């Protein structure tokens, strides 16, 4: 990394239109995060069509703004209605809502904003330091290493998302299968196209993502309407007191470290990092009994972790072209829609995209802080809009947005079908993120697999004789085996009872 | 795992069985280089194995009276609302050819808010019309998306 790279980034991020779209991104992201049920994956997918026609750097600045803005927005809902706006804010409900009940909603939102700002800024610094050397290392990777990396991403996401690893893996398999639809990547033979011209180029990821993440979730809200009333609390005292600061600063720093490194791991992401940060904070606390009763560090640590995780998740996306979560999978798809080739060469071929994004994240985090401290009551008032009114608004934007990408009614149809499938998956606890990630990675994974086998004249030894791919594949196997072993150990006592 | 996972597992296995059947007609490749059928065949086989594991795990769990004995309670009223909404979405897609995209979306949103969600008429009409107006201005006027036009010219 050279200082000229960062200066290039700031020269791009400070352009008026990029400042505007960074602001729009964090503003919309905060609103999306605050709406229960609509998470960052759905938000980024729904709003992606708005970025067409923008320069890729501008578009990525806005999408990233939505991503990390949503991380903060989820806090508002967690604190005021005891319902996480998105999964990364689940832990915040434990102490945030208790603080609100005690009349300290302002302090909870304030420390979340400050913690998010610190974590976001340090996370961006670490992203800036970690991504370029990783990309340089990855340039030496061949198809076997890429294949192994993508397998690792899929297995960790599948085993860590949702309630059952089997369900996650099954969804990843469905996504990979859907990824084989269309003209074969190497030999040009059509597969599963049923003579339909719309399927020759494969199934677009965006209609599938919008269907599963957004329409499926909206249908679930029609099925079981959200009836959440925000508590009527005056948001006073947003700035932390000296004691609040003393209690939280350790948690913010630990949450930042945990969030960034866990966020970098494929599949782990913001949700797991916020769980780990909360658990760590409780463990190191001299008064663990305070957790769950309104401890401010119980808000500061997970909120810092989920913001830092969103920076960490951008490391594999930008340096390797491999997303580790549903949201970054949508962002990867966006890069390809802008005509870019994600991967380690992105940093050298399109430095303006990476460095513009990094610089905009410094600015965006300041915007988020400025927005959220004085405007917390305004965002909180969004929660008073009945969700039943928001459903047609979001559905209308989603349908029009999907149409606008390729001016295709077929894609609208695909969105509706996957909306129905997403609803059924939601009911039965099948996570959509592994499916979307597998759909995005599928064609790349198959290409890497077949190129590897061509290189080795059909021998699978190539994956195990090259040290990097062998290590990465071993990690992927561990990612599947560890949860399986712990599940079997936890099952044993009940089986004994049943016998 | 719940009892319903047994049926979901079987359904997935049947789906992967169908993809395997389709994949057998693709060129598998030679010993030296995999062809277009290689990935679909192996993914289908793995998919069938996973799906059957889900079905067997759910069935064994149910037989042991453990966690899998639980049933997911389905709210019939809610299911009806979702089915009607999906039917409305399908009808909207059909109507685009005759009414244009903006008008079809408006008709669907009115149907959704009035018939499915049963919002007060004024709120439903206001939310639907405002949504379509904003979306039309944003996508068609501002972003220049050539949306299919209807008899009213938009």
Residue A498's pLDDT is: 36
Q: How does pLDDT run across A422-455, given as a tens digit for each residue?
A: 999 999 889 888 898 889 888 889 999 999 998 9
ipTM of the predicted assembly exceeds 0.85: yes
B69 contacts B1 by C-beta, under 8 angstroms: no
Q: How does pLDDT run across A335-382, given as a tens digit for each residue?
A: 888 888 788 888 888 899 999 999 999 999 999 888 887 777 777 777
Nearest CA in chain B to A54: B143
Minimum-distance CB partner of B39 among A166, A180, A223: A180
The pLDDT confidence band at residue A10, using thresholds 50, 70 and 90, is very high
Q: How does pLDDT run across B65-109, given as a tens digit for each residue?
A: 555 445 667 788 999 999 999 999 999 999 999 999 999 999 999
A305 contacts A276 by C-beta, under 8 angstroms: yes
Residue A404's pLDDT is: 87
**Could you tell me how far CA A472 lies from the centroid of its own chain?**
22
Q: Is the pLDDT of residue B26 over 60?
A: yes
Q: What is the 3-state secondary structure (H, E, C) of A30-77?
A: HHHHHCCCCCHHHHHHHHHHHHCCCCHHHHHHHHHHHHHHHHHHHHHH
A482 contacts A165 by C-beta, under 8 angstroms: no
Residue B152's pLDDT is: 81
Q: Is the pLDDT of residue A494 over 50?
A: no
Residue A166's pLDDT is: 87
Minimum-distance CB partner of B50 among A53, A170, A180: A170
Q: Is the pLDDT of residue A75 over 50?
A: yes
The pLDDT confidence band at residue B52, using thresholds 50, 70 and 90, is very high
**Tokens representing B68?**
């899998």
- The average pLDDT across A243-258 equals 92
Q: Which residue has the tokens 């999306």?
A: A32
Q: Which residue has the higher pLDDT, A271 or B44?
A: B44
Residue A299's pLDDT is: 92
The pLDDT confidence band at residue A61, using thresholds 50, 70 and 90, is very high
| B152 min Cα distance to partner chain A (Å) | 18
Q: Is the pLDDT of residue A110 over 50?
A: yes
Q: How does pLDDT run across A150-178, given as a tens digit for each residue?
A: 888 888 777 766 567 889 889 999 999 99
What separation in angstroms does the CA of B62 have from each of A124, B2, B8, B55? 48, 8, 14, 11
Q: How does pLDDT run across A32-60, given as a tens digit for each residue?
A: 888 776 778 888 888 888 888 889 999 99
Inter-chain CB proximity A180 and B132 less than 8 Å = no
Interface test with B, best of A192, A391, A392 (most B CBs within 10 A): A392
In 3-state terms chain A splits into helix, strand, coil percentages (rounded to 5) of 75, 0, 20
**Tokens representing A43?**
């938000």
The pLDDT confidence band at residue A496, using thresholds 50, 70 and 90, is very low
Residue A481's pLDDT is: 82
- The average pLDDT across A186-214 equals 90
- Interchain contact A412–B (C-beta under 8 A): yes
What separation in angstroms does the CA of A330 have from each of A36, A413, A438, A470? 20, 19, 11, 28
Q: What percent of chain B has pLDDT over 70?
A: 93
Q: What's the CA gap between A198 and A204, in Å, rounded?
A: 10
Mean pLDDT of chain A: 86
CA angle A307, A311, A317 (to 5 degrees): 140
- Interchain contact A487–B (C-beta under 8 A): no
Contacts of A19 (CB under 8 A, 6+ apart): A13, A363
- The average pLDDT across A475-488 equals 78
Interface test with B, best of A186, A217, A404 (most B CBs within 10 A): A404
- Interchain contact A191–B (C-beta under 8 A): yes
Residue A462's pLDDT is: 92
Q: Which residue has the higher pLDDT, A100 or B95?
A: B95
Q: Which residue has the tokens 């309104």?
A: A294
Inter-chain CB proximity B36 and A189 less than 8 Å = yes
Residue B53's pLDDT is: 93
Residue A230's pLDDT is: 62
Q: Is the pLDDT of residue A460 over 50?
A: yes
């Amino acid at each position: 990394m050279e200082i000229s790279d960062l200066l290039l980034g700031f020269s791009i991020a400070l352009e008026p239109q990029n400042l505007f779209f960074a602001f729009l991104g964090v503003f919309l992201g905060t609103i999306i995060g605050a709406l229960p049920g609509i998470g960052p994956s759905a938000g980024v997918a729904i709003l992606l069509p708005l970025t067409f026609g923008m320069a890729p750097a501008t578009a990525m600045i806005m999408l990233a703004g939505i991503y990390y803005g949503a991380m903060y927005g989820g806090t508002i809902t967690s604190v005021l209605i005891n319902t996480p706006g998105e999964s990364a804010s689940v832990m915040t409900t434990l102490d945030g809502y208790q603080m609100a009940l005690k009349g300290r909603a302002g302090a909870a939102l304030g420390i979340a904003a400050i913690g998010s700002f610190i974590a976001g800024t340090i996370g961006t610094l670490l992203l800036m330091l970690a991504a370029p050397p990783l990309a340089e290392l990855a340039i030496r990777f061949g198809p076997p290493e890429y294949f192994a990396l993508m397998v690792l991403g899929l297995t960790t996401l599948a085993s860590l998302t949702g309630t059952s690893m089997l369900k996650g893996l099954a969804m990843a398999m469905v996504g990979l299968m859907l990824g084989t639809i269309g003209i074969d990547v190497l030999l040009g033979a059509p597969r599963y196209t049923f003579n339909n011209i719309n399927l020759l180029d494969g199934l677009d990821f965006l209609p599938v993502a919008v269907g599963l993440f957004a329409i499926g979730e909206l249908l679930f809200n029609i099925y079981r309407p959200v009836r959440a009333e925000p508590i009527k609390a005056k948001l006073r005292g947003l700035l932390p007191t000296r004691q609040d600061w003393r209690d939280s600063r350790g948690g913010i720093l630990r949450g930042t470290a945990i969030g960034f490194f866990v966020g970098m791991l494929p599949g782990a992401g913001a949700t797991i990092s916020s769980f780990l940060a909360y658990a760590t904070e409780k463990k190191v606390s001299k008064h663990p009994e305070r957790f769950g009763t309104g401890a401010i560090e119980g808000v500061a640590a997970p909120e810092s972790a989920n913001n830092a995780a969103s920076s960490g998740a951008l490391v594999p996306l930008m340096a390797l072209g491999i997303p580790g979560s549903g949201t970054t999978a949508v962002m990867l798809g966006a890069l390809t829609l802008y005509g870019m080739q994600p991967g380690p060469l992105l940093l050298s071929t399109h430095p303006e995209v990476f460095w513009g994004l990094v610089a905009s994240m410094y600015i965006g985090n300041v915007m988020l802080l400025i927005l959220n401290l004085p405007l917390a009551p305004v965002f909180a008032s969004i929660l008073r809009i009945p969700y039943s009114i928001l459903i047609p608004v979001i559905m209308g934007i989603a349908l029009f947005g999907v149409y606008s990408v390729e001016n295709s009614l077929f894609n609208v149809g695909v969105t509706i079908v996957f909306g129905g499938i997403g609803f059924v998956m939601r009911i039965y606890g099948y996570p959509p993120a592994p499916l979307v990630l597998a759909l995005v990675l599928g064609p790349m994974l198959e290409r890497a697999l077949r190129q590897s086998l061509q290189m080795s004249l059909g021998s699978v030894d190539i994956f195990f004789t090259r040290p990097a791919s062998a290590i990465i594949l071993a990690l992927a196997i561990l990612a599947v085996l560890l949860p399986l072993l712990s599940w079997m150990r936890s099952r044993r006592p009940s089986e004994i009872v049943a016998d | 795992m719940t009892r319903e996972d047994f049926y979901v597992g079987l359904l997935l296995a049947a789906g992967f069985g169908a993809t395997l059947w389709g994949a057998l007609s693709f060129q598998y490749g030679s010993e030296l280089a995999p062809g277009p059928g290689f990935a679909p065949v192996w993914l289908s086989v793995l998919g069938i194995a996973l799906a059957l594991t889900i079905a067997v795990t759910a069935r064994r769990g149910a037989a042991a009276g453990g966690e899998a004995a639980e049933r997911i309670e389905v709210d019939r009223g809610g299911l009806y609302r979702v089915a009607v909404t999906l039917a409305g979405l399908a009808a909207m897609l059909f109507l685009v050819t005759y009414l244009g995209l903006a008008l079809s979306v408006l008709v669907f949103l009115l149907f959704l808010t009035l018939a499915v969600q049963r919002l007060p008429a004024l709120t439903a009409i206001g939310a639907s019309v405002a949504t379509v107006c904003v979306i039309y201005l944003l996508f068609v006027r501002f972003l220049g998306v050539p949306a299919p036009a209807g008899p009213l010219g938009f």
